[in-house]
Structure 1
Amino acid sequence: MPTARAARRAVTRLGAVVLTGALLAACGGSSDADSADGGNGKITVTVDLFGSFGYKEAGLYAEYEKLHPNVTIKQTDTEDEADYWKSLQTRLAGGGGLADVQGIEVGRIATVTQQQSDKFEDLKKYGAESLKGQFAEAKWAAATGRSGEVLGLGTDVGPEAMCYRTDLLKKAGLPTDREELAQRWSSWDGYLELGKKYKAKAPGKSAWLDSVGSLYSIMIGQQKERYYSASGELIWDENPALLEAWDRSVEAAESGLSAELDQWSPQWNQAFAAGSFATIPCPAWMLGYIKGQAGDAGQGKWDIAKLPGGAGNWGGSYLAVPRAAEHKKEAYELIKWLTAPEQQEKLFRKVGNFPSSTGAIDKVADTTDPYFSDAPIGRIFGDAAKAAPVQVLGLHDQSIAQQITNALSEVERKGTDPDKAWENASKGVANTLG
């Protein structure tokens, strides 16, 4: 997951461990008062997520419950990560209404490590330090607090590619071969130029891409420094890479290449099945979302090609245990299992969430996806993951990104002058940061 917004994401992750009798005992059957529901030895571990992490869809909850007959998993989720985060902040402040497991989007993890380490369990007390070697170094480091606390376990990462509708491109007289397209749009200039050719012969009322917000998000995901410098300085309004992403997104809007859809809105969801756009920048976690929205009728109409402008990362998440959780130990055992290499491999093969586990990445290299015209998704996303920069994560990344995409939506939907929209974004960031 989701993730742009957070990417959302759409967001996703997992792994399987050989469970010994000792582990089974640790995961269930506890006689502690705070680990049993109703005093019958059975417990319900609650999980609160955003977007689509894919655990239920991939059958992982059912598998875990079978391995642990005394555990029932109850998941709640919010589609929009911004809404989820706002609600989570309210509950963290009040100390009530928190699930045993809470999802944290990568754009928020710096807030957790720098400002909220007292709100989440240090997973080292449950043995998490032994898992460090399973994860990419950057993924592990991002969830490590200033005093060395381990505040979450990584689910997926969001290597980027471009998803496209072969049927729509064919009707517009454009190539559909993924290798040829990768060459034609090797740069973002090439991508926009091809989009203008598509617009000239677009079938029906279809657009080149879903929204300029998704274009901006995927482009900024290609950069090491985005909103903050490596030294922690706020640089968003003078970062050349960010300004370039803004300008290209404005160009797409003013050229009429966008379907003008708000990501994660009901209209955006419906557009996948309706064929309202020909291309969509897609991190790996987006694949499961596309399948869910486009349905069986979309199988074979979609394909995936290398992203214009080089590799990047958009999204990826963590699973954390609040200090106010009712079943802390059982929650840790669940997230340890869900993020283990075996489960992360299963999750990618079934729903497309790319592993953050180093042990799982090589195992999925040969994966293809029949829904996406047998695209070699293991190779495409694996190459992108290896080439993507290690991003600088800042305290307010997600909030700044939201203000910028809101401003781009003004240009796209209302025809607001780009300079005025940038001014609005600057005011929004200033208000957000206080």
Structure 2
Amino acid sequence: MAAPTHRRSLRTRRTLVVSAAVVAAGVGAGVFVMNANAGAADLYHQTLAAKDGWASSGTGTTGGAKADAAHTFTVSTRAQLVKALGSATDTTPRIIKVKGMIDANTTDAGKKLTCADYAKGTGYSLSAYLKAYDPATYGRSKLPSGTQETARAAAQKNQAKNIVFKVPANTTIVGVPGTGAGITGGMVQIQNVDNVIVRNLTFAATEDCFPQWDPTDGDKGNWNSNYDSVTLRGATHVWADHNTFTDAPHFDTANPTYYGREYQIHDGALDITKSSDLVTVSRNLFNCHDKTMLIGGSDSEPAGKLRVSLHHNVWKGIVQRAPLARVGQIHIYNNYYDVTTLNGYAPQYSINSRAKAQVVAENNYWKLPSGAKAAKVLSGDGTGAVKGSGNLVNGTVTDLVAAYNAASSKDLKTTVNWTPTLTAGLEASAKSLPTALATTTGAGVLK
């Protein structure tokens, strides 16, 4: 993605190679078995079980279970998906069945779109952008402004119009079993709506053609991209279950370097921000990604929201933010973290608690390679809390908070201001998780 010409050739073959690349990433081809959570009801009308994490609180999460025949859709193209979603303000219950892999970078007629197509008519070119904002001449004290930055923003807006899918309230989006269902190159946006279910889908290759250079980001500046595979912004009662998130087929190791910094085309996998609340994230596979899950977009988010449950997920080849949590009450239980470098993704930490986040982490399993330290599993800013219990490292019960605090100058607090009660399915031991979750997480295991 170094330049539109480079991405053109890559994107034209994206739909054909994404499934193979997901397998190469270590995700697996998908074993079709019935999971215990699936129950006897048909997949499309299933709702979140009682007491299954924060999303079961209050009115619970039912998605589009009450949809009538006129609001039940089967889609296999980008245009069909957009039509099925309808208006983001329409609260009529709907069920959207995704059949096969939908390529977001296509026209309504199905023609493949490239980065060059989005840039057409804007005046943007990467070479001109690099020349205009070279720190050696432009400096490092302010964000880019002027002709090329305006052109970049316009090109990025063109891409957003095509790849961002806005989900209305009372919606279930679910992959049709056996079809390799998912979205490649797109962002599912759940913003200021209530009651949404997203299940059994693979989200791959969500990429920004036009990252912005920010010389003020950190000591050396950074390239920042704009799209998460799934983003929650001010959303409530959301259940994300049995999905797969991956950068495949374009891993970060293929990103070029400009101004001495990686030209990062990926943003989050599943981000939960802008006072989103009452969210359950269960049995997903997060694979080969850097900044994976953000809970709370800034340290100044107001208190009282960002209540999130994460359980029975697999995190493999994840660099950081699994999750990074701010402000809220987050329950992390029965997850499996394989902290081994995969396809160039070298893990830095798993859980970061900051901005007074109240995290309860219990009965999770970490697989650490030889030489890796348990003290590196957690991170924080000195204001966040992690109450840990029953967590295993390579099969041994380990006090991760104590290990972190012994090696850090910014201690994590060890007590929290709440007690989880919505804990259906909580397993008392993490010992079997590496084996049990291998065939029961991610897309393609539900029938």
Q: Shorter-chain TM-score: which interval? A: under 0.3
- The structure whose RCO (Cα within 8 Å, separation 6+) is larger is 1
Hey, which of these two has a bigger chunk of helix by percent? 1
Question: TM-score normalized by structure 1?
Answer: 0.24
- Between Structure 1 and Structure 2, the one with more strand by share is 2
Q: With structure 2 as the length reference, what TM-score do the two structures score? A: 0.24
